[in-house]
């Protein structure tokens, strides 16, 4: 089969599209023919050597995707050849075939396409737990969303609005600001401006109730835009490592810093299915709209990585085998 691989850490140029051995699925796994594969910043971190990897070179990136069941392990029940499934946490997804453990296989409703599933699962379940677990968004909460036009950002905006909150978005361009407003952000500021001051002005000096911080290097400013007793949820570092936070500041302002990692939340098949089903339900009801993804062939993975790393992308990037 064909796969997107790399042997050494580095930029997009280390990626190669070539033949590798097909995966051998064990009795508790399903062999899936991939139809759409989600590209995420974690793939960039792994390619650079900044994130954990599974196996030995040649490494195959990717943890998220959707496809059709080709073979079923002898211990697997409730799944048959031809079923449509998706997953959010299975390695080696940048390939034509992937061995998926039964516990991580999420059935796809008839109305959810492969592209939609690969666009929403990882980022959608992330937005889901961020708004329901890391900080439970309440009606009338004022929420600051970093990278509001990005994949997780767009879903955060929509879920916060669905839960009754007000959204202030941050983006890096006028075009991205328009995208964030189009999916429900009440106000959008750009990073090039004095956005902390603007957020405080927008909230009459009070600050926001919660910040969803995914840039990293802006963590200190996020605290400056948060109200006394407010919360900053740190779940990404797309813009670089954050500066150290002084615990004394947290004590003096009664503010909370909490982290977020999806893998600490979806620890069972039941969690995966229940959270994804709520997302799929919102999509089917039109309460959440998944923007049309940027499509690249798997063979053109270098360009897809370059585009994501440029921070010019809006919405999800998919690799199509």
Report the distance separating Cα 149 and Cα 123, nearest Å: 13
Q: What pLDDT is recorded for position 319?
A: 98
Q: What pLDDT is recorded for position 92?
A: 95
pTM: 0.86
- Residue 187 buriedness (CB in 10 A; 0-12 / 13-18 / 19+): middle
Q: What pLDDT is recorded for position 50?
A: 83
Q: What pLDDT is recorded for position 302?
A: 96
Q: What pLDDT is recorded for position 144?
A: 98
Answer yes or no: are the C-beta atoms of 219 and 234 closer than 8 Å. yes
Report mean pLDDT in 10-residue bins for the chain, 321 residues: 96 96 95 96 90 84 96 95 95 97 96 95 94 97 95 94 98 93 97 97 98 96 98 91 94 96 90 95 94 93 93 81 96
Q: What pLDDT is recorded for position 314?
A: 66
Q: What pLDDT is recorded for position 315?
A: 67
Answer yes or no: are the C-beta atoms of 140 and 203 closer than 8 Å. no
Q: What pLDDT is recorded for position 310?
A: 86
- Residue 80 buriedness (CB in 10 A; 0-12 / 13-18 / 19+): exposed
The DSSP call for residue 95 is B
Report the distance separating Cα 128 and Cα 134, nearest Å: 9
In the chain, the domains with their CATH numbers are 2-120+266-320 (3.90.180.10), 139-259 (3.40.50.720)
């Amino acid at each position: 089969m064909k796969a997107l691989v790399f042997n050494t850490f580095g930029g997009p140029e280390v990626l190669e599209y070539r033949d590798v051995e097909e995966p051998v699925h064990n009795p508790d796994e399903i062999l899936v023919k991939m139809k759409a594969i989600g590209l995420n910043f974690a793939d960039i971190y792994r390619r650079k050597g900044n994130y954990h990897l599974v196996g030995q070179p040649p490494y195959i990136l990717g943890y998220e995707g959707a496809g059709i069941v080709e073979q079923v392990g002898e211990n697997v029940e409730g799944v048959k050849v031809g079923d449509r499934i998706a997953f959010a946490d299975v390695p080696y997804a940048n390939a034509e075939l992937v061995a998926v453990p039964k516990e991580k296989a999420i059935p796809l409703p008839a109305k959810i396409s492969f592209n939609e599933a690969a666009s929403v699962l990882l980022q959608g379940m992330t937005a889901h737990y961020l708004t329901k677990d890391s900080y439970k968004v309440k009606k009338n909460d004022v929420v600051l969303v970093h990278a509001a036009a990005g994949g997780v950002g767009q879903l955060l905006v929509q879920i916060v609005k669905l839960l009754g909150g007000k959204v202030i978005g941050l983006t890096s361009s006028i075009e991205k600001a328009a995208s964030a407003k189009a999916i429900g952000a009440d106000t959008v500021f750009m990073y090039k401006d004095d956005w902390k001051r603007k957020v405080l002005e927008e909230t009459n000096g009070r600050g926001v109730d919660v910040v969803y911080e995914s840039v990293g290097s802006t963590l200190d400013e996020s605290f400056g835009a948060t109200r006394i007793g407010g919360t900053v949820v740190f779940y990404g570092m797309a813009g670089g490592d954050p500066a150290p936070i002084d615990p004394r500041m947290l004590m003096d302002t009664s503010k909370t810093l909490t982290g977020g990692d999806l893998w600490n939340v979806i620890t069972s098949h039941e969690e995966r299915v229940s959270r994804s089903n709520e997302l799929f339900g919102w999509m089917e009801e039109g309460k959440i709209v998944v923007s049309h993804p940027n499509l690249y062939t798997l063979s053109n993975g270098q360009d897809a990585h370059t585009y994501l790393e440029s921070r010019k992308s809006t919405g999800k990037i998919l690799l199509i085998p």
